[in-house]
Structure 1
Amino acid sequence: MTQQYLAGELSLLLGQLQIVTTNKESERDVARLRFEAETVPIASLPSVVVRALTLTDTLCWESLSRADVVTFSRQAKICADLFDFGVCAGLLEDAWPAWHP
């Protein structure tokens, strides 16, 4: 895979996440990650994916705490897509502890 493909796919996933954020601070965090995905060297993409997964996990828990099942479902799907992308692109190991704090 080319660096442009990896950056573009990660940016697309982060754009989907940005749509389902529930507050301005999280939206800014996702926008920052998206910018990084589009501009950092390929060697830095694993860090972006890990931070995106951590943020998505937090967003999912926040949605659950508000009993917002629809938003949680969308966020959980994006989290799974981010993880699958990271593993398939060789940016993550295929294991939960590889990214979860």
Structure 2
Amino acid sequence: PAAQILLQYCTEALPKGASLLELGAGTGWFGLQLCQARADITACLTEMSAHGAFERLGTNLAANARARGLRQQPTCRTLDWADADLPHGSWDYVVGSDL
């Protein structure tokens, strides 16, 4: 439920060309929906590597981005909750939902 509200807010409120880092992306639903609604946004989705979560995220992103014909596919990076460093890059927004 929180992801749906966050998606509505980000779709309407983020400035053109914003970059966004999602912590704990799960299946990638939020990032895929956001990139479909706002092709101008650059999104990086993160997920833990444990128990195959990161691999599932990558598989979901690739399959759904092709199926949806996304011009701008989100990237994905592993996330270690014990490491305070964010994945490489400069981000305008850092978000998370249903964490």
For normalisation by structure 2, the TM-score amounts to 0.30
Judging by fraction of residues, say which structure has more strand: 2
More helix by share: 1
TM-score (norm 1): 0.30
